[in-house]
Structure 1
Amino acid sequence: MATFLLQEHKIKPDEVVVSILGTAGMRKVTGVNQKEIYARAKEAVSDNNFEPGEFRTISGQEEGVYAWVDVNYLNGTLEKKKKKTKGIIEIGGSSAQIAFATDKTKHQDDNIMSIKINDVNYNVYAVSFLGLGSNDFNLSITEKSEKDFCYPKEYNENNISGNFSLEKCSAIVDSILTQFPNLKKITQNEEFYNSEFFAISGLYQTLNFFGVKDEDKTGLTNKIKDLCKKDYPDIVIYSENRDRYNTFNKCANAVFANELLFNVLNLPSLHIKAVKKINNTNIRWTLGYAILSQNR
């Protein structure tokens, strides 16, 4: 497919730079194994006559900054005249990222990355939490003795006998979130509470599944209560017009989102909006990487 498109536009493969960047999943892989994987990937790129670019695992901070750049580029807030930008809260499979603009500098906080786009300087506070991705977080829940309270009734698989309780599931989720004390440090930044955020990736999927666009804690809590009190087969039917991927985890994911956004981060009402696309373009951190690569 790629070769066909290049031929159609009369572009030679050796004029195309191909980079392969790993994220949270690769951060779990040993350095030796990473080196071998990237060596083979680079060899495959060269064998297909493309120009090899970067082959490495990016840091969580980089991932957050790239997503921030992507969102604000698509939103039209990275022009030559500096505008108020949006923050991002992203939940992936293995990690979660939070990023927003700040007036502070890297000398004041190691979580700040300074970048330049269109001759405008930005300081971006970006943090990543390995283990707070949806897949890893759900695995942590299943390791708890009271895990059944995070799954709907009549779900009886994977050593789980669903018996959903919002109160008890919230307590389980909170016990996991307390293992990430740096989450609270984010809230010490004045810019955090002055920012509006886009919920992207897995967080978008969760909020969208429950019909949440830009509601506050009360709105999300009520929707969790209304849907998760249903039996699992009824939730499966509900999911047919939405997202059917891992339906059994939807209630656990929603409680996770609720506790993270409104109890730990204490986001003010209407400061977050679930977004999949901006100006009809899917959100992908890879575009942010490409933009920063061009502005080096």
Structure 2
Amino acid sequence: MKKSKVAGVFLFMVCLMVYLMFVKHHYSTYKPDSYRPPPHIQPGPHGFVSGDGHSFQYGIMFDAGSTGTRVHIFRFQMDSKGAPKLDHEMFRAIKPGLSAYADDPQKCSAGIKELLDVAKSSVPPSMWTRTPVVLKATAGLRLLPGQKADQLLDTVRVLFQESPFMSREDGVSIMDGTDEGISAWITINFLTGGLHGADLPTVGMLDLGGGSTQITFSPHQEKTIQTSPVDSIRSFQMFNKTHTVYTRSYLGLGLMSARFDILRGVRAPPAPPGGSTELLSPCLPPEFSGRWEHADVIYTLKGQKPGEPVYEACLSKVEKVLYRKVLKLSEARDIDFYAFSFYYDCAVDLGVIDEKQGGTIRVSDYMDAAKRVCSSLSSSPPQSPFLCLDLVYISVLLQELGFPPHTQLRLVRTINQVETSWALGATFLYIESLKKH
């Protein structure tokens, strides 16, 4: 009995030893793929380097507009031979715009710090000192007196220098209309593939803002380059390739500025302090009466008496405002153009495109809609009293720029879920400038 117990214990120990040897051998030779950890991204000399050898670069762009400030945090997968890939975008917006703090610049600090905190949470700490932070201000600060604009920019500049990100003196500035047009052109062509070294042609860009309007495209005809004003032809380096574009910004021909000039008449002086602020226009619904604020002045708007030929009278007013104000480009008709901002919004108001998906529209669609809306003002006033005026203005502006009625424009707000704003293009331009230093 005693011998059998000893034999049983011995057999158990042998089995246990065999089992442990098997387990050890199994786990030393078998590593299941399903539990392999994802490549960990580590800091490298030129940005992030992932386990598969890809290099990453971050960029932070503050878009300081007239109604608000938005931060874009981009992460790029870099390619030393060609265009990078946009790997991720994070953005956040706050209101009001910087110009609202013109009389007390320090009050803008809280909002800027809030957006800097968003950037800190989006960029790995090990990359903070190698990530440029930039602010570009547009229409809101352009319209401020120089000293007030400078004080706001100085306040932001100090906050950027105190942040952990890479900040240079030129990282806070007011963007001129030409740079805005070029940056938007870079964005749209990056997103559509025209800058990726493939055989895809580049596309043109049309932007109709509140205070200004821009047109930018890459000319193929030598005639365009030879006959255009010198300051309208710009060359720049992008992704190891030189690009030459025609770009022009027309300050004062944005939709809000144009509304004012059309309503008051081209020869009428601005209303003096305490003077009349009543504007009478055939572009408004007959017998319409309302109030409109422009440049911190509240105007009383009135339409003319019923029975007047609204479309014809409004067309005449618009043509006088635009007379010899823009350059007509014959080559524009041969290039595919994307159009943004108020071109998009008016098409949405007409129901021609979906508000989220966008679509296409012909110049003749704006023209036909202008005739239809203006002619029906007496019987069925539109939801917006400015729709007749806006449509007439857009249809005339496009023709003055060189687009015949049959021209088709593409209207989009995003491509591959990335906004088609100038922010992405401006970030690329800034990163390119860092390479030169």
TM-score normalized by structure 2?
0.57
Q: CA deviation at 1:15?
A: 4.9
Aligned AA (1:143): R
Equivalent pair of 1:111/1:125 in contact (CA under 8 Å): yes
Q: CA deviation at 1:231?
A: 5.6
Equivalent pair of 1:153/1:232 in contact (CA under 8 Å): no
User: Does residue 71 of the first structure (1) align with residue 188 of the second (2)?
Assistant: yes
SS in 2 for 1:248: coil
Match of residue 290, structure 2, among 137, 157, 168: 157
Q: CA deviation at 1:141?
A: 1.8
Q: CA deviation at 1:80?
A: 1.7
2:406 and 2:380 map into 1 onto residues whose CA distance is 33
Q: CA deviation at 1:162?
A: 2.8
Match of 2:4 in 1: none
Equivalent pair of 1:106/1:112 in contact (CA under 8 Å): no
User: Does residue 204 of the first structure (1) align with residue 344 of the second (2)?
Assistant: yes
User: Does residue 95 of the first structure (1) align with residue 205 of the second (2)?
Assistant: no
Identity of aligned residues (%): 23
Note closer, same or farther for the CA distance 1:8–1:173 as it changes in structure 2 (3 Å cut): closer
Match of 1:270 in 2: 407
SS in 1 for 2:167: strand
Match of 2:109 in 1: none
Match of residue 368, structure 2, among 214, 219, 222: 222
Deviates more, 1:102-111 or 1:194-203: 102-111
1:8 and 1:132 map into 2 onto residues whose CA distance is 38
Match of 2:251 in 1: 130
Match of residue 427, structure 2, among 279, 285, 290: 290
Q: CA deviation at 1:99?
A: 0.4
Equivalent pair of 1:152/1:162 in contact (CA under 8 Å): yes
2:386 and 2:216 map into 1 onto residues whose CA distance is 26
Deviates more, 1:90-99 or 1:7-16: 7-16
Deviates more, 1:111-120 or 1:252-261: 111-120
Q: How many correspondences in the alignment?
A: 281
Equivalent pair of 1:141/1:147 in contact (CA under 8 Å): no
Note closer, same or farther for the CA distance 1:8–1:95 as it changes in structure 2 (3 Å cut): closer
Unaligned runs of 5+ in 2: 1-113, 269-278, 292-299, 353-358
User: Does residue 6 of the first structure (1) align with residue 120 of the second (2)?
Assistant: yes
Match of 1:36 in 2: 151
Equivalent pair of 1:106/1:114 in contact (CA under 8 Å): no
- Structure with more strand by fraction: 2
Equivalent pair of 1:24/1:130 in contact (CA under 8 Å): no
2:140 and 2:212 map into 1 onto residues whose CA distance is 8
TM-score normalized by structure 1?
0.82
Deviation sequence 1:250-287 (CA, Å, 0-9, x none): 22111110111125534351332222222332211011
1:46 and 1:217 map into 2 onto residues whose CA distance is 47
Equivalent pair of 2:187/2:421 in contact (CA under 8 Å): yes
1:203 and 1:137 map into 2 onto residues whose CA distance is 14
Aligned AA (2:382): I
Equivalent pair of 2:259/2:389 in contact (CA under 8 Å): yes
1:248 and 1:260 map into 2 onto residues whose CA distance is 20
User: What are the equivalent positions in structure 2 for 1:180-199 lying under 5 Å apart?
Assistant: 180=325, 183-184=326-327, 186-187=328-329, 190-199=330-339
1:252 and 1:28 map into 2 onto residues whose CA distance is 24
Q: CA deviation at 1:126?
A: 0.3
Considering Cα pairs closer than 8 Å and 6+ residues apart, tell me whether 1 or 2 has the greater RCO.
1
Aligned AA (1:57): I
1:194 and 1:114 map into 2 onto residues whose CA distance is 21
How large is the Cα RMSD of the aligned pairs? 2.9
Equivalent pair of 2:366/2:394 in contact (CA under 8 Å): no
SS in 1 for 2:393: helix
Aligned AA (2:210): G
Match of residue 26, structure 1, among 141, 154, 172: 141
Equivalent pair of 1:153/1:230 in contact (CA under 8 Å): yes
SS in 1 for 2:282: helix
Q: CA deviation at 1:118?
A: 2.4
1:292 and 1:95 map into 2 onto residues whose CA distance is 22
